[in-house]
Amino acid sequence: MLCGILILAMAIWLRVSKAEQEFVHEDSGMHPYIAVNILIAVGATIMILGFLGCCGAMKESRCMLLVFFIGLLLILLLQVAAGIVGVTYRSEYEHILNETLHNNVDLLSGTDEKAKSFQKALINFQKEFKCCGLIDGASDWGSNFQQNSESCECSDMSDSSCISYEGKHVYKQACVVFIKDLIKKHLVVIIGIAFGMAFIEILGLIFSMVLFCQIGNK
C-alpha cells in the first residue's frame, strides 16, 4: 500500500509539472504523459491490491491472497510488456518529438490565442533556463522578436554564450536542448520507479505465495 501511495504521488507530481507539456501537445500525434498516466493507474491499483493482501494475511484468507497474487502478477507482466514496447519504439518517439518541436516553431511568429499561449510558456522557459528561441535561436521569433526579446537578453554583455541579434544581446543556445533534457530526466524518474516497483512486486509475489501455502498446510 505504501509503495502504491509513493508511486501515485510521484506520478501525479510528474503529471502536473507543465514545463514540457506546453511544448508537446496531444494533437501533435504524441502525448508526453502516457507513461505517467499508466503509473497513476498502476499506483492506484497497487494501493487496492495492497489493502487486499493485508486483509488476506491478517484474516488468513487464501482467496484474498490468491487474488492479490494474480493481480500483482498481471501488473508485473504489463510492466515488462510496456518496457519492451518502449525500447522497441524509442527511436520513433524521438522522431515524433523532434518533428513536433519543429512544427511548433511557427507558433512563435503567430498572433492567434494558441500562439500567444505557447509564446508565454516559452518566455517563462527562456527566463528559467537562459535560452532563446525553440530550435534555431532568436530567429525563431520572427516578427515577434522585439516585443518578446526581454526574456532572451543576457545580463552579462561579455558572456561567450550570448550573441547579438537585431540590436539585442541575447542567449545563443536554443531551448530545444533544455526541453529534451527535461523530458529525459522525467523519463529517468519513471524508469527508476518502474524498476523499484518491479523488485517490490516480485517480493510481494513470493511472500504472498509462501503465506498462501502455509495457510493451506494448516
Q: Is the pTM for the entire model greater than 0.75?
A: no
Do 6 and 87 have their domain in common? yes
Least confident window among 23-32, 150-159, 167-176 = 23-32
Q: Is 21 found in the same domain as 69?
A: yes
Q: Within this chain, do residues 43 and 112 fall inside the same structural domain, yes or no?
A: no
pLDDT at 145: 94
- What's 102's domain CATH number? 1.10.1450
Note whether 84 and 143 are same-domain residues.
Answer: no
**One domain for residues 125 and 170:** yes
Residues 79 and 106 in one domain: no
Residue 32 has what pLDDT? 53
Residue whose cell numbers read 509503495: 3
Residue 19 has what pLDDT?
53
Domain match, 167 and 192 both:
no
- Per-residue confidence (pLDDT) for residue 21, from 0 to 100: 55
Q: Answer for the pair 12, 40: CB distance below 8 angstroms, yes or no.
A: yes
Per-residue pLDDT tens for 95-149?
888 888 888 898 998 989 889 988 998 999 999 899 999 999 999 999 999 999 9
126/77 same-domain check: no
* pLDDT band per the 50, 70, 90 thresholds, residue 78: confident
Residue 52 has a CB neighbour count (10 Å cut-off) of 19
For 17-75, how does the pLDDT look when each residue is reduced to its tens digit (9 = 90+)? 655 555 655 454 445 566 677 778 888 888 888 888 888 888 889 999 999 999 999 98
pLDDT band at 87 (very low <50, low <70, confident <90, very high): confident
Mean pLDDT of the chain: 84
Sign, Cα dihedral of 30, 36, 37, 39 = positive
Q: Are residues 84 and 161 in the same domain?
A: no
Q: How many domains does the chain have?
A: 2
Q: Are residues 115 and 87 in the same domain?
A: no
Residues 52 and 110 in one domain: no
Mean pLDDT across the stretch 152-167? 85
The reported pLDDT for the residue numbered 29 is 47
Domain of residue 123: give its range: 97-177
Looking at residue 24, the DSSP 8-state letter turns out to be: S
Long-range pairs of 58-61 with CB within 8 A, sequence gap ≥ 24: 60/215, 60/218
Q: Are residues 125 and 172 in the same domain?
A: yes
Give SS3 for 110: coil
